[in-house]
Homo-oligomer: A and B are copies of this chain.
């Protein structure tokens, strides 16, 4: 496992089901690793520290910022979210493909720092499906729902800035497509020049 891994950035609006897609993609290939984000927001029901997020206090989070332990971080309505830089770099150097599930703002911040990142946008197949999925979530108040729907439409407008767009219509198909994209990106010629150089020796 000498080759450096790829950084895969996955975004998509709330209601795209990207969380499920990402966890299925990760478990499909032992070379894929999920980058667990750091957050100051409270855990939702069923969320586990170190699995879904690393849950930190505000002062712990500030400490990480101060020590430059975060690749990027964002304030989202008073809650902070960040990417653990050391984890990402360590995994990439060990040949793992690191998958980051992150919103569009965070995604573009990462792309700026690591331009070789592969950007994948997951979308539901239509506005109606998106609305249905968001309404189906019992956790949101009507105000939150309205805000989320607005945010989703805003995020969708940024999809063209990603390298790939994958529709999450049938889950298995979507998971395969994302896995294929990651595997295919290893064959981009810019990442394979050492193979060709060997012929000149």
Chain A residues near B (Cβ < 8 Å): 121, 123, 125-127, 130, 153, 156-157, 159-167, 177, 180-181, 183-185, 187-190, 192-193, 195-196, 198-201
| Residues of the B chain whose Cβ atoms lie less than 8 Å from the Cβ of A123 | 195-196, 199
- Docked pose: A125 CA to B195 CA in angstroms: 7
Quickly give the copy total for this chain.
2
If the complex has contacts A180-B183, A183-B180, A199-B127, are A188 and B160 also in contact, measured as CB distance less than 8 A? no
24 pairs of residues in contact across A and B, judged by CB atoms under 8 Å: A121-B189, A123-B195, A123-B196, A125-B195, A126-B198, A127-B199, A127-B201, A130-B199, A153-B200, A156-B196, A159-B189, A160-B190, A160-B193, A160-B196, A164-B184, A165-B192, A165-B195, A167-B195, A177-B183, A177-B184, A177-B187, A180-B184, A181-B184, A184-B185
